[in-house]
Amino acid sequence: MIPTPSKNGKSATGKHAYSPKAIQMMTGTPDLIETMHADDKGIINLIPEHLARLSRSAKALGYPYPGDLAIRQSIAAACITHSGTSRRVRLLLSQSGALDVQAVPLGALRGTPLIGLSPVVLDSNEPLLQHKTTYRPWYDVTTEWLSTHTAYFDQIFINERKELCEGSRSNIYVLREDVWLTPPLQCGLLGGTMRTRLLESGQAQEAVLHLTDLPQAQAIRLSNGLRGWFDVKPDASLLPGHVLP
């Protein structure tokens, strides 16, 4: 069962299985999200992957899909602002099919950020893990923690079988025998847009991974649609002998 953070920041256990009807019954129906990187000319290199994921989630959860053209036009209008610099583009698609797109300047990612281990265990059978929505309670504790630990890019989650899943805003990759490996979707994770590109190009392969794979890794990387694919360093929480709080 998936632990969902309570108001006091501790984990509470609850089983979730969401159909489109169940989504409609939630308090404050969630929006679908795509967070994208636009370069200084407003070009989003991963736009095919973002549109494919958004369309797929809209169909699965019963949200109207405005169509690729309407979405591209909304993104172009938002990217008119802050021209000449890289931008973070955030798109929300509501249950009614309404779009909200905003673009803000994006600073560079500096150095090699740290990653740690989340104390929250994901349920690999949770259906919403494979859809990017504003309903993400299992990540609340990590989101709050990251806001005060600026040297870290993310915390990594494991599932009920102690398999590596993902970060709260990234996919994880382990270099083993010169091959980049990333967990398959059935471990309980979101199929990131950069992850899709890397798999389709043959730069990465799927494999079930565990915490014990990290100390032996030649290198560790994260990826997401905003920051691309980049090196990270694990802290002590991801090394053998660490006891979760």
CATH topology of domain 32-105: D-amino Acid Aminotransferase; Chain A, domain 1 (3.30.470)
Q: What is the pLDDT along the chain (245 residues), one digit of tens a residue?
A: 223 333 333 333 333 334 444 444 444 689 999 999 999 999 999 999 999 999 999 999 999 999 999 999 999 999 998 888 999 999 999 999 999 999 999 999 989 999 999 999 999 999 999 999 999 999 999 999 999 999 999 999 999 999 999 999 999 999 999 999 999 999 999 999 999 999 999 999 999 999 999 999 999 999 999 999 999 999 988 876 554 44
Among the CATH numbers 3.30.70.20, 3.10.105.10, 3.20.10.10, 3.90.79.10, which is that of 114-238? Answer: 3.20.10.10
Cα(215)–Cα(80) distance, integer angstroms? 45
Tell me the domain boundaries of the chain: 32-105, 114-238
Residue 240: predicted pLDDT? 63
Residue 145's region, left for phi above 0, alpha for psi from -120 to 50, else beta, is alpha
Q: Which helix (H) or strand (E) holds 50?
A: helix 47-61
| 54-58: long-range contacts, CB 8 A cutoff, minimum separation 24 | 54/91, 54/93, 57/32, 57/131, 57/132, 57/133, 58/32, 58/93
Which tokens in the block code for residue 170?
């990234």
Q: Tell me the pTM.
A: 0.86
For the sheet containing 164-167, what is the strand order? 164-167, 152-159, 114-122, 233-234
